């Protein structure tokens, strides 16, 4: 592995750790929401969202300088944008989306009772669709009937993805 590849791998790892930290921070904030007064909760949440916005800006700057990071940065930016726009209200779903973990998203969707949380079902379907997963006719219809404007704004990760081979050929 060349020095550049090692540095890129290290940078990717740091990006993932930072994103995981911020997503965990959001999840923990939701868990302790009842223990905090409203003002403290809002302040903490706004602070975390501000950190996400700053992280997103940093990723944008990095994208212009290092093309080999385009895939990872695009995926991280989509997760950040989803968190900021609140298309996903459930931190666990945001985390699975950020990690592009289709299997966990599908598993969680299958575990929701038929008459269970429709909001969570919509979030999961939105995440799956945004990751390029094919939805059943029933899932598509449910998503179309219930999706919020923020959820409709999400871009498919697969359509924004640039393969490393294509990037190498550009150099």
Q: Which is higher by pLDDT, 124 or 76?
A: 124
Instruction: Tell me if 73 sits within 8 A of 62, measured CB to CB.
Output: yes
Cα–Cα distance for residue pair 46/86, rounded to 1 Å: 12
Annotate 117-150 with three-state secondary structure.
CHHHHHHHHHHHHHCCCCCCHHHHHHHHHHCCHH
Structure tokens at 142: 């449910």
Domain containing residue 84: 3-170
The number of folded domains in the chain is 1
DSSP 114: T
> What is the per-residue pLDDT across 9-28, written as a single tens digit (0 to 9) for each?
888 888 889 988 988 998 89
Contacts of 12-15 spanning 24+ positions with Cβ under 8 A: 12/69, 12/72, 15/59, 15/69, 15/72, 15/73, 15/76
> What is the per-residue pLDDT across 128-165, written as a single tens digit (0 to 9) for each?
888 888 999 988 888 888 755 544 544 444 344 434 44
């Amino acid at each position: 592995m060349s020095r550049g590849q090692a540095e890129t791998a290290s940078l990717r790892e740091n990006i993932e750790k930072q994103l995981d930290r911020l997503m965990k921070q959001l999840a923990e904030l939701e868990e302790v929401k009842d223990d905090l007064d409203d003002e403290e909760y809002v302040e903490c949440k706004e602070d975390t969202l501000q950190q996400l916005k700053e992280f997103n800006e940093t990723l944008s700057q990095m994208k212009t300088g290092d093309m080999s990071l385009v895939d990872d940065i695009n995926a991280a930016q989509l997760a950040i944008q989803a968190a900021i726009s609140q298309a996903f209200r459930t931190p666990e779903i945001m985390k699975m989306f950020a990690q592009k973990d289709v299997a966990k998203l599908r598993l969680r969707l299958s575990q929701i009772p038929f008459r269970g949380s429709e909001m969570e079902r919509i979030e999961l379907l939105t995440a799956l669709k945004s990751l390029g997963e094919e939805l059943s006719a029933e899932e598509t219809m449910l998503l179309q009937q219930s999706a919020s404007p923020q959820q409709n704004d999400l871009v498919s990760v697969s359509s924004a993805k640039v393969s490393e081979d294509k990037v190498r050929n550009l150099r």
